[in-house]
Amino acid sequence: MKIHIQHIIKGYLIFYCILMLLYLSINLPSPTGEWDDYSLPAVSIITDQNIDITENDIMHFKIIFPEWSQYIDYYSLSGYVTKSGGEMPWYFPTYSVACIPFIFILSFLGLPAIYAFAFTNLVCLMVMLLTVYWGLQINDKKKLILIGALSINPIIFYLGWISAEAFIYAMLGIAMVCWYNRWYKRAAFFVSIAGMLNPVIM
C-alpha cells in the first residue's frame, strides 16, 4: 500500500509536537539569559497594562512565578527609567504579550506559569511548520524535506529558553513562506513583527 506524503507530514508534525512538549515539560525552566527582560513586562502588562517595571510588578511577579521569586530581586534591565520611576526593559514587549495567554492558562489550571515561555515557543514553531505545510506553494516532497530541516536544527535548544529566539525564528519562517508565494505585504508584516524584537532583522 502506497503511503501518501501528506500523511507522512501530518504524522511527523504530530509526533514532533508531542515529543517537544514532553521534552519541555520534563525540563524545568531556569531563569537565565534575558529572562527578566521578557518575564517582567508580561507581569507588568497583566497587572498595570504597561511595560515599565516598578516594585508593584516585582511583588506580583513573585505571586505569578513563585519558583523564581528568589531570583527576581536581582533583575537587570536597560537602566532607562520613566518619569513615573519605572524601569524599562531592553526589548519591545511583543514576545511578552505572546506569552501571556499561556501564563493565564497555566495559572488557571494550577500549573507552574514558568512553563508559559517554553510552551509559547513551541506553539510559535508549530504555527510556522503548519504554515509551511498548508501555505507554501511547492510540492509535498519538498515540503517534507523543508519541514524536517526547519524542525531538526539548533532551534530545539532555544525552545526551553526564556527568550524570543524561537518567536523570531517562527515569524521569519512565516515571512519567507509569504515571500516565496509573492504575498509581499504579509511577508513585510511578519518581518516587522520579528524586527520589533531585533532591529537588525529589518
Listing DSSP states for 29-79 in one string gives: P---TTHHHHHHHHHHHHHHSS--B-HHHHHHHHHH-GGGHHHHTT-----
At 54-86, the pLDDT tens digits run: 999 999 999 999 999 999 988 888 889 888 889
Instruction: Kindly indicate the confidence band of residue 1, based on its pLDDT and cuts at 50, 70 and 90.
Output: very low
Percent of the chain with pLDDT over 90: 87
Q: What pLDDT score does 197 carry? A: 93
Three-state DSSP class for residue 176: helix
Q: What is the pLDDT of residue 201?
A: 83
CA distance from start to end of the chain = 48
pLDDT, position 19: 98
pLDDT beyond 90 at 143: yes
Average confidence (pLDDT) over 179-201: 95
Pick the closest to residue 189 from 164, 165, 172 (CA basis): 172
More confident residue, 147 or 31: 147
Distances (CA, A) of 110 to 38, 63, 104: 22, 12, 10
CA nearest to 115, candidates 31, 18, 36: 31
Chain centroid to Cα 169, Å, comes to 9
Confidence band of 3 (pLDDT split at 50, 70, 90):
low
For 16, 106, 151, 160, the CA distances from 128, given in Å and listed in that order, are: 13, 23, 10, 17
Mean pLDDT, range 182-195, rounded to an integer? 97
- Asked if pLDDT for residue 20 goes beyond 50, the answer is yes
The whole-chain average pLDDT of the chain stands at 94
Average pLDDT over residues 142-152: 97
Quick one: pLDDT at residue 83?
Answer: 85
- C-beta separation of 47 from 60 below 8 A: yes
Contact predicate 147/13, CB 8 Å: yes
Question: What was the pLDDT predicted at 93?
Answer: 95
- In the DSSP assignment, the letter for residue 115 is G
pLDDT at position 74? 84
User: What is the spatial distance between Cα 139 and Cα 136, in angstroms, rounded to a whole number?
Assistant: 9
Which pLDDT does position 32 carry in this prediction? 86
